Amino acid sequence: MDARQAPERRIVGFHRDAEGHWVAELDCGHGRHVRHEPPFRVRAWTQTAEGRARMLGVRLACRECLDGEGGG
């Protein structure tokens, strides 16, 4: 149970981390991993520039904002 809702942030870009996993850059300044690890996490769209471009502007819940702002 989580009474608080993670705020939704828009994807403004992407970069790869040191291990080569894709990280969505959110408009709040946080990053969120969008790993492609089949069969557990299938995000084939991360594997092409076209697929990533389609995700720009899409909203993701940012748990870092939830934890960082007024958390306590």
Binding site for Zn ion (CB under 5 A): 28, 30, 62, 64-65
Tell me how far, at minimum, the Cβ of 60 lies from Zn ion, in Å.
9
- Bridge partners of 25, per DSSP, are 13, 31
**Which residue, 42 or 67, has its beta carbon nearer to Zn ion?**
67
Q: Compare residues 10 and 30 and give the one whose CB is closer to Zn ion.
A: 30
Shortest approach of Zn ion to residue 16 CB, angstroms?
A: 19
56-to-9, 24, 45 alpha-carbon distances in Å: 11, 9, 12
